[in-house]
Amino acid sequence: MEQTLKKLGIEPLNAGTFDGSWSKVSSGTQISTSSPINGAELAKIATSTDEDYERVIAAASDCFKQWRTYPAPKRGDVVREIGDALRDNKQALGELVTIEMGKILPEGLGEVQEAIDIADFAVGLSRQLYGNTMHSERAQHRMYEQWHPLGNVGVITAFNFPVAVWAWNAMIAAVCGDTVVWKPSEVTPLCAIAVTKIVGEVAKHHGFPALFTLLTGDGPAIGQRMAADRRFPLISATGSCRMGRSVGETVAKRLGRSLLELGGNNAVIVLDDADLELVVRAVLFGAVGTAGQRCTTTRRLIVHNTVLDKVTKRLVEAYKQVPIGNPLESSTLMGPLVNEQAVKAYQQAVARVAAEGGEILYGGRLVEGAASSLYVMPTLVKANAGMDLLKEETFAPILYIVGVDSIEEAIAVQNGVDQGLSSAIFTSDLRKAERFLSHAGSDCGIANVNIGTSGAEIGGAFGGEKDTGGGREAGSDSWKAYMRRQTNTVNWGSDLPLAQGIKFG
Ligand code: UN1
């Protein structure tokens, strides 16, 4: 652990504010971050003061005025170098994700890869920020749309993807000509500091030291302040529905834009003709991966009653074989939960199962003799669709299994929650798969066939409907959220015809 921190320039006490240079560590109050692996303190961080906040916004706003004049493909060059710098640091950064957040190393490395992938995507995008051209109804007129840089983008991220989700926003925002102010989760500040050090060097080298700035807080105060601040035309926030509702309301009050990627309550539907081998593998990754702390984690398994017993038995067998332990060790499949609060949420959910008419089939308790009190057993629950628990997102490895008699019932159960992020169906029947993907099928932002709910590629737009917040990040045309659109009409004739054929005077 020490080696990793050293490689990434993490000190025992770190500045948590970056405005193009790092603030003094003596300024703010200090928070400490510890590893869920063994509870050991990793480092202390000086949080951002009110003055730090103002300095960061001023530096980002100044930087924006320069950065937006820099041609988009050149902005792409800077992002390409950032992708290379992330490649150079992939191992150490992946380790830091694992050490500070607790996901297993292959997932920590995968997360850094996701950041590299979006950098590559953004480089290509920097030459493809296309606007449309329309045919004007007026003679000798040209009409078209262009996309301009937006300004400072405030990026508020959660602990569970402490590198990748910032990168989805930051890499795209940067090629769009925006500056990025990052407020990471107070649970994973070191990941943010390490990333800011790496990308800050590249940005500085190109003369834009305040392109990617950082604010560290202790709790929601800084995020709320950003949400209310008109100097952020866009706030992109990832986290719980509760947080998103509060940020969204505050941003809406000043008529700003928000891009929200909030809670999921993702289901996998298993039909009677499903390839069960694929089901078990996909559900294991989806429900146990990242210890159930992805927004895309599989939380509900909706199974056709004819295969319910078979699927349940196979999953119990598979769950028994999940090695739980130190996420840095290659044999481990599941590490700890991130903190005590997460363990409490897990325990509270487990405690409600019986009262709500469910039955714990496997797990439901802490791992005995573990290196910290944060290791829980992945849990399988026999459930029914009416249980209140199934409507909630508990950020822990608890999978509720529900039996159904038809695809119609399965889709109704799957859609019968407030969240709408990710969903999947396992079937060999093309018609049923298409039914699931149709307008009358899954109501989620992501709907997959014979693939689980988590582990999306960056090339598609990522996000969900309903209480998930409606935002789309990463690939496809998500970039449009980070720019402002302008419609231009140019008259190159010598008359002034009016639209709609109006004669005036
Ligand atoms: C998140 O949990 O906030 O699709 C993001 C996935 C990852 C991203 C998850 N690519 O599971």
pLDDT tens digits along 351-402: 999 999 999 999 999 999 999 999 999 999 999 999 999 999 999 999 999 9
**294 alpha carbon to ligand 1 midpoint, in Å?**
6
Place of tokens 């949080």: 47
Place of tokens 């005995």: 368
**Residue 191 designated active-site:** no
Average predicted confidence (pLDDT) for the chain: 97
As annotated, the residues of the chain forming the CATH 3.40.309.10 domain(s) are 266-457
Q: For CA atoms 451, 479, 292, 464, give the dihedral sign.
A: negative
d(CA 324, CA 389): 25
Q: At residue 504, does pLDDT exceed 90?
A: yes
Q: What is the pLDDT of residue 26?
A: 79
Classify 381 as helix, strand or coil: strand
Catalytic-labelled residue, pool 81, 186, 261, 393:
261
Tokens of 171: 């890499």
What number is the average pLDDT over the span 104-129? 98
**Residue 444 designated active-site:** no
Q: What is the pLDDT of residue 411?
A: 98
What number is the average pLDDT over the span 206-211? 98
Which residues, other chains included, contact 104 with Cβ-Cβ below 8 Å and sequence gap of 6+?
A: 98, 327, 332, 333, 334, 335
Split at pLDDT 50, 70, 90, the class of 203 is very high
Q: What is the pLDDT of residue 145?
A: 98
The backbone torsions φ and ψ at residue 18, rounded to the nearest 5 degrees and listed phi first, read: -130, 120
Q: What is the pLDDT of residue 28?
A: 73
Q: At residue 10, does pLDDT exceed 90?
A: yes
Q: What percentage of the chain has pLDDT greater than the value 90?
A: 98
pLDDT tens digits along 310-351: 999 999 999 999 999 999 999 999 999 999 999 999 999 999
State the CB neighbour count (10 A cutoff) for residue 497.
15
CATH superfamily of 266-457: Aldehyde Dehydrogenase; Chain A, domain 2 (3.40.309.10)
pLDDT tens digits along 437-485: 999 999 999 999 999 999 999 999 999 999 999 999 999 999 999 999 9
293 lines ligand 1 (CB under 6 A): no
**26 alpha carbon to ligand 1 midpoint, in Å?**
36
Catalytic-labelled residue, pool 63, 191, 241, 295:
295
pLDDT tens digits along 23-44: 988 777 999 999 999 999 999 9
Is pTM beyond 0.85? Reply is yes
Say if residues 307 and 299 touch (Cβ distance below 8 Å).
no
The domain defined by 2-262+469-486 folds into Aldehyde Dehydrogenase; Chain A, domain 1 (3.40.605)
pLDDT tens digits along 244-262: 999 999 999 999 999 999 9
454 lines ligand 1 (CB under 6 A): yes
Q: At residue 299, does pLDDT exceed 90?
A: yes
Helix 189-205 vs helix 90-101: angle between axes, to the nearest 10 degrees?
Answer: 150
How much is the CA Rg of the chain, to the nearest whole Å? Answer: 24
pLDDT tens digits along 37-91: 999 999 999 999 999 999 999 999 999 999 999 999 999 999 999 999 999 999 9
**454 alpha carbon to ligand 1 midpoint, in Å?**
6
212 lines ligand 1 (CB under 6 A): no
Q: What is the pLDDT of residue 473?
A: 97
Q: For CA atoms 467, 473, 478, 484, give the dihedral sign.
A: positive
As annotated, the residues of the chain forming the CATH 3.40.605.10 domain(s) are 2-262+469-486
